[in-house]
Amino acid sequence: MGSAEVLVVAGTHGNERNAPWLVKHWLGHPGALDSAGLALQLVIGNPAALAAGRRYLDRDLNRSFTSALLETPSPADREMQRARELLALHGPAGSRPCALVIDLHSTTAAMGNSLVVYGRRPPDLALAAGIQALLGLPIYLHEADASQQGFLIERWPCGLVIEVGPVPQGVVNAAICRQTQWGLEAALTVLASARRGSLALPRSLTVHRHLGSLDLPRHPDGSPAACLHPLRQHRDWFPIRPGDPLFETASGETLRYQPSDPEPLWPVFINEAAYGEKGIALSLTRRERWPCEPEWLEGLQQLALQLLPSAA
């Protein structure tokens, strides 16, 4: 029945070293990762950037999977070459086809162990709901942001990011590794249940729905005029309300959060090191509880039926 595998990607960003550390171990020690009986492909996303200890060499690989970029004629830069190679090898129509992908990331923000879902594809929501039911992980639902496009997982019919932090770039931290492994094993457990037809979703899913991002205040020359307020630092997933401290100038002046809407919002990716160049000091979300729809489960089950069992 099955014809495809589960793709697990580590090191899509070359300075996020925890997941590559795990993947290299799992490749040498089958059994160290509980695959829940599923056949996996364990892949380093950007080996050249990992070797260089940099997020990327020419462009952010995890913003390179837009149709426009993928269809641009050659010559391509190194990340575009790698994006095409990943799809040719492991894509849904690749030489070793994968039906879905789990992309393992870490962050300098205090996101804890968390999930990032891109858009509202039914199987993604079912997978996220299943993991949340097992581990209670918070979910950041990224959607409708024209400035941030081309995420790797969007090229597979199903997939999500496991995002763990805080950990500095370039550092392997044993606790971050454990959280990453727990998140991945929960995802594989959910997929195996879906494949067996025994997955039951919880009644509802709690998501933090992306509304937009805030940049630091900037001087006319473009340089930052403030940094994150110390009361905001490491407060991912905690609500911010009108009047709360948001930024602090170098002079020590507090700049407060002054939205037109008085409702609280939930910031995520606060002061992520790699987002400075993207003009993102934090992203703002709304916490929502959605009833789990039957079509989510149906979508995931259909995909899961394609999955091959692991070799005995």
Judged by CB under 8 A, does residue 13 bind its own copies? no
Residue 120 CB, nearest distance to its own copies (Å)? 32
Of 29 and 203, the one with the shorter C-beta distance to its own copies is 29
Q: What is the rounded distance in angstroms from the CA atom of residue 168 to the CA atom of residue 107?
A: 7
Q: What is the rounded distance in angstroms from the CA atom of residue 168 to the CA atom of residue 140?
A: 21
Judged by CB under 8 A, does residue 220 bind its own copies? no
Q: Angle formed by the axes of helices 122-135 and 174-196, to 10°? A: 120
Judged by CB under 8 A, does residue 277 bind its own copies? yes
Q: Which of residues 244-263 bind its own copies (CB under 8 A)?
A: 248, 250-251
Residue 8 CB, nearest distance to its own copies (Å)? 15
Judged by CB under 8 A, does residue 32 bind its own copies? yes
Q: Are 79 and 57 in contact (CB under 8 A)?
A: yes
Residue 281 CB, nearest distance to its own copies (Å)? 10
Rg (alpha carbons) of the chain, rounded to whole number: 20
Judged by CB under 8 A, does residue 192 bind its own copies? no
Joined tokens for residue 139 = 């979910």
The correct pick among 274, 282, 303, 308 for binding its own copies (CB under 8 A) is: 274
Residue 231 CB, nearest distance to its own copies (Å)? 9
The correct pick among 81, 148, 173, 206 for binding its own copies (CB under 8 A) is: 173
Q: Which residues pair with 102 in a beta bridge?
A: 8, 160
Stretch that binds its own copies, among 66-74, 188-196, 197-205, 223-231 (CB under 8 A): 223-231
Strand order in the sheet with 266-268: 40-44, 5-10, 98-106, 159-165, 112-118, 139-142, 204-214, 282-291, 266-268
Residue 212 CB, nearest distance to its own copies (Å)? 22
Place of tokens 């995002």: 163
Q: What is the rounded distance in angstroms from the CA atom of residue 197 to the CA atom of residue 167?
A: 37
DSSP code string of 117-139: EES--HHHHHHHHHHHHHH---E
Residue 248 CB, nearest distance to its own copies (Å)? 5
The residues binding its own copies (CB under 8 A) are: 21-22, 24-25, 29, 32, 53-54, 108, 166-175, 177, 223-224, 227-230, 233, 248, 250-251, 271, 273-274, 276-277
